[in-house]
């Protein structure tokens, strides 16, 4: 039995995620081009993201048989074992024989033939236990936090801080949401074409569902949206719904000067450019040249050639001889609000890194506020759930930077009027302290935070 195309791709992507520190979603986008069958693309994606989401639980189950840490194995052997036990536990449609055999063949293909017998024996035992719930294997001495960490496959430190921050019910809901396949949300750039675009996507074999938050958003499934005419013509873009809300909070008006400080991949910039119109000035910066090039391609697809693009290290003083009416700082962050979409983050991130992000975000925000015109608005946002990157940044900047204050939540809500799905109250998108905040498990969206500043 030959190794399937899907398993070969999944194995190679997982290897590169570990060895290169790449994001699985980026690698899958590259590997699953038009030459790959839809069913192979679907299985490869399921295997890669499933193994990354459930890695801690998979390793726990494997280590019962191995009697040593999976991390001490050669990477190729560890990946083949994780792929095998994931299929046995989570993919009932895959025959156990195929899951075991192809995992053994993957090890041989990686020139680790000496480990083939081990992989075969461990996975055969795992197949016999696949019907037993994982909780039955947990030692009685484990703490409640450790149990949650193993069963929901998150690092214990992350579980601890979320329990303290959100309480048990919300934290468990967040853990569960992070292990579900997230909605693939899209932005519709012309609301008048909603029915036309929906019909076109359905004709291409996709499922289309309405947005949960925004009238201009919808979700798709059952196929590749990037292969559709609607995508290639620039009528739609792939973008999480909470991410779509953030640029709206700036309340950009036609003709205004707008700066997007950390703009890549450009989805938020596109919304700012449409609001500012051809009479406005929209500048989008990113410190990495390859990301600036990617934005140029994105804006060409969207017909937004008027956006000014530049390499910009925004930590330094902004290199402009003017101030901007509107500034968006969607800051680099830990990304803990995106673990459903980027599950590898949970295994790479260390709690001590949050202090480093805080320092970077402080520097960026102070730089941005220096470039804000009198009466202008800056929106600071992250896709993080952590206080160190969100409200603690905001509170510290308010203490250190004179002449700026927070935009009241009611004013931020006001710019969303007419843009939300019928029945959605804007107040549900803001917390008790007035910050914009979404939490996976409560919304079918990434976890985002945003606050608005105004210069007096």
Give the sign of the dihedral formed by CA 413, CA 414, CA 419, CA 425: positive
Q: What are the percentages of helix, strand and coil residues in the chain, rounded to 5? A: 50, 15, 35
Q: SS3 string of 399-441?
A: HHCCCEEECCHHHHHHCCCCCECCCCCHHHHECCCCCEECCEC
**Which 8-state DSSP code applies to residue 136?**
G
Catalytic residue among 186, 262, 333, 383: 383
3-state SS, residue 386: coil
Q: In terms of C-beta density within 10 A (0-12 exposed, 13-18 middle, 19 or more buried), how is residue 91 classed?
A: middle
Cβ atoms of 314 and 261 within 8 Å: the answer is yes
- Cite the beta strand spans of 107-262 per DSSP E: 184-188, 207-210, 217-221, 236-238, 257-260
Whole-number Å distance between alpha carbons of 189 and 270:
9
Whole-number Å distance between alpha carbons of 72 and 70:
5
262: annotated active-site residue? no
Comparing CA positions, the residue from 339, 312, 349, 338 lying closest to residue 327 is 312
- The catalytic site residues sit at 383
């Amino acid at each position: 039995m030959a190794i399937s195309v899907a398993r070969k791709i999944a194995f190679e992507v997982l290897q590169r995620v570990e060895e290169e520190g790449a994001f699985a979603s980026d690698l899958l986008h590259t590997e699953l081009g038009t030459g790959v069958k839809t069913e192979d693309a679907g299985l490869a994606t399921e295997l890669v993201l499933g193994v990354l989401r459930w890695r801690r639980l998979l390793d726990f189950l494997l280590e019962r048989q191995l009697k040593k840490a999976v991390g001490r194995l050669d990477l190729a052997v560890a990946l083949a074992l994780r792929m095998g036990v994931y299929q046995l536990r989570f993919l009932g449609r895959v025959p156990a024989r195929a899951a075991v055999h192809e995992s053994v063949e993957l090890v041989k293909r990686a020139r680790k033939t000496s480990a083939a017998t081990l992989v075969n024996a461990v996975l055969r035992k795992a197949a016999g236990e696949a019907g037993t719930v994982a909780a039955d294997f947990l030692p009685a001495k484990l703490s409640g936090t450790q149990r949650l960490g193993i069963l929901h496959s998150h690092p214990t430190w992350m579980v601890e801080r979320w329990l303290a921050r959100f309480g048990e019910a919300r934290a468990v809901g967040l853990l569960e949401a992070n292990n579900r396949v997230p909605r693939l949300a899209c932005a519709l750039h012309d609301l008048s074409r909603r029915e036309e675009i929906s019909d076109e996507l359905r004709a291409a074999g996709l499922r289309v569902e309405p947005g949960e938050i925004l009238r201009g958003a919808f979700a798709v499934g059952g196929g590749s949206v990037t292969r559709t005419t609607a995508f290639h013509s620039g009528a739609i873009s792939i973008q999480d719904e909470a991410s779509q809300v953030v640029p709206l909070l700036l309340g950009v008006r036609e003709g205004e000067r707008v700066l997007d400080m950390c703009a890549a991949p450009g989805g938020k910039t596109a919304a700012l450019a449409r609001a500012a119109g051809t009479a406005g000035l929209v500048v989008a910066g990113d410190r990495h040249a390859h990301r600036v090039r990617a934005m140029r391609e994105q804006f060409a697809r969207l017909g937004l050639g008027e956006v000014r693009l530049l390499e910009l290290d925004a930590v330094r003083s902004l290199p402009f001889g003017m101030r901007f009416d509107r500034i968006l700082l969607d800051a680099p962050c830990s990304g803990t609000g995106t673990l459903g979409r980027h599950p590898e983050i949970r295994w790479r991130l260390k709690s001590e890194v949050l202090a480093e992000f805080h320092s970077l975000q402080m520097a960026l925000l102070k730089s941005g506020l220096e470039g804000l015109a009198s009466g202008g608005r800056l929106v600071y946002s992250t896709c993080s759930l952590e206080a160190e990157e969100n409200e603690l940044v905001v509170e510290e900047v308010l203490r250190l930077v004179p002449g700026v204050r927070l935009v009241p939540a009611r004013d931020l809500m006001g710019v969303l009027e007419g843009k939300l799905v019928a029945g959605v109250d804007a107040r549900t998108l803001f917390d008790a302290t007035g910050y914009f905040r979404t939490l996976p498990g409560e919304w079918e969206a990434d976890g985002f935070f945003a606050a608005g500043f105004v210069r007096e």
